[in-house]
Amino acid sequence: MNIIALTLLATLTSGETSLDINEDKVEKPLVIACYYTWYTTLDGPHKRWGAWGSDKPSDFSATGSNPDQLIFPPHIRDISASAYPLVGLYDSDDPEIVRWHIQLAKAAGIDAFFVDWWGAAGWQQPPGYTHDVFVNVVLPIAEEEDFKVCLFDETAQFYHDLNTVKEWAAGYLAQFKDNPAYLHIEGKPVYGIYQVPFDPRLTPEEATSIRDYVEERVGPVYWILDKIANGENPITGKYGFMIPEEWIALDWVDAFMGYGTFSVQRIHTYEELAPQYAGMAKQIQRAGKAAILPLHPGLDNSRLQEGSYIIPRKQGDTLRAYIRAATDAGADALILTSFNEWPETTVVEPAMTWDDPYRYLKILADWKGLDFTPPPVPENRVLLRLDLATP
């Protein structure tokens, strides 16, 4: 176990940076799961469907999906996901749903959530929804549950005003960083920046300007940048996963990660992943930075878009392959994509459409050496079940 991973684990489990850890007890790298807070329901307090449906054509339907339509009454609706939540559709600001999610994550050995972040998000419906969910629900419940969360900023990719991105990053980090539930590494609050690998918005100079602006106002930050790309890896000399060299050269970046392999290459077996993960980890670590490699339980966006791509789940063998490839590569931490991104169906959240709703959480727990015991479902939810289970 390398020193970066030891420091990550020490910080997460203690909140301190000077904890002396017995290396013999450190067996597995940290797992940080991507967590989404954009869901609303028609019968919930917001009286509208948010992120559960889509009016765009998909490979499944030329007219998209409409949650108003019941497929199997009285509960199963037409949604833009290829699996169905065990507890049905929910609002992201339902405190008991958030508490259940965090308890599930803890039971599976997930160490923290990367929470999707859109700043003030005045364009959302309802306006500022994801901001309000984080501030009013996720952060306080994480504190109550002794769990860690941090921001995964999507505005740097999708918002067009860089000055606003800087102001939001500095302002919100200043607001959240001292909360006991906010994730710190090496004594610094963690801030993740998301980028689309095939069309990244930021240049290295712009990212550096965000860093300079934020740290002048907040102090030191632990920066995690999503920069996975394809190219000739300088370690292996072969074409594959890598971080562009102009980004590796930035001395202020603490860790590089990849949100997903599926936007870069369509591979998912251990034999395909292992050499690429090894080369990518070595490239990052040679520069003195932490390597955070992605895990996927599967992917199926056929109900979301046309020209879909499917990573088969293979009854959990796909997730096991990613775990093995990432740990064999010596990853300092792992990013799980995702806990609950239902439209792309990369989820590990329990699904009623799997023969074992908890399969992927059990796989993570087993790998972490834990006996998985599912927490009680929220009292206001009905467990859904069909005889149409799929893997």
Are the C-beta atoms of 390 and 354 separated by less than 8 Å? Answer: yes
- By C-alpha distance, which of 275, 276, 318 is closest to 297? 318
**Count of other CB atoms within 10 angstroms of residue 204:** 16
Are the C-beta atoms of 326 and 293 separated by less than 8 Å? Answer: yes
Structure tokens at 134: 């984080």
- pLDDT interval class at 75 (50, 70, 90): confident
Helix axes 204-218, 162-176, angle to 10 degrees: 40
Phi and psi at residue 222, to the nearest 5°:
-90, 110
Residues 349, 325, 389: CA angle, nearest 5 degrees: 30
**Cα–Cα distance between 159 and 164 in angstroms, integer?**
8
- pLDDT interval class at 386 (50, 70, 90): low
Residues 211, 212, 216: CA angle, nearest 5 degrees: 115
**Domain at 30-367: CATH code:** 3.20.20.80
Kindly tell me if the per-residue pLDDT of 293 is higher than 70: yes
Q: Can you give the pTM of this predicted structure?
A: 0.93
Please report the pLDDT score of residue 117 as a whole number: 97
Mark out the alpha helices in 303-373 (DSSP H runs). 317-328, 359-367
Q: What average pLDDT does the segment 326-330 reach?
A: 98
Give, as one character, the DSSP assignment of residue 377.
P
pLDDT tens digit sequence for 331-378:
999 999 999 999 999 999 999 999 999 999 999 999 999 999 999 999
- pLDDT interval class at 20 (50, 70, 90): very low
What is the β-pairing status of strands 222-226 and 188-193? parallel
Domain boundaries, the chain: 30-367
